[in-house]
Amino acid sequence: MVLPIEQWPRPRPVSINIGHLATEIAFYIAFVAFAIYFVISTWSSEPPKSSLLEKAFSIVWAMFTIYLISQGVSAFIGDRKLLAAGEVALGRVFHVRGGKHPRMEFSFQDKVGKTITALASKTRHIREGSIIIVFYDPSNPEKRCVPMDNSLWKIRLPQ
């Protein structure tokens, strides 16, 4: 018999979701390749020479790329920590936004009974009213919470 997740000893065993990781890595590689190409082509000494505005934009683009990667790595590490050692709650999705960047708003109650509302990217199978498993940091649940299905990590079932 498998115990409920909240009763598992911590740290919980977690492993990477290879399919989602491959997609994320492909996105970052494409983004970085474009940034490198853009910076190299802008700063090339061969004609036609780039304007100062193009060079400034290439620097901003390179900084944005570094920022994007650092945020992705930070979320990757943080999500693993939350799934391994965070508190667990059931949440309910109460609003879903579609479009180019689909998002879901959800709420859950922490262990002291406070209702927390958060926003996360939406996966395909989530609908308004869906029940989700949320992992959170009890010291800052508003800022550090992650729905289980939004993480690159998954919890391994005990043998």
The vertex-31 CA angle with 125 and 15, nearest 5°, equals 50
- The tens digit of pLDDT for each residue in 29-43 reads 998 898 888 888 887
Q: Which residue, chain included where needed, has tokens 């999705």? A: 93
Mean residue pLDDT of the chain comes to 86
What are the beta bridge partners of residue 71?
none
**How is the chain split into domains, by residue range?**
13-159
- The tens digit of pLDDT for each residue in 69-121 reads 999 899 889 999 999 999 999 999 999 988 888 889 999 999 899 999 999 88
pTM across the whole model = 0.77
Give the DSSP letter string of 91-140.
Answer: EEEEEEE-SSS-EEEEEEE-TTS-EEEEEEEPPTT--TT-EEEEEE-TTS
How confident is residue 136, by pLDDT bands cut at 50, 70 and 90?
Answer: very high
pLDDT value of position 1: 47
Higher pLDDT, 66 or 4: 66
- pLDDT > 70 in the chain, percent: 94
pLDDT value of position 3: 66
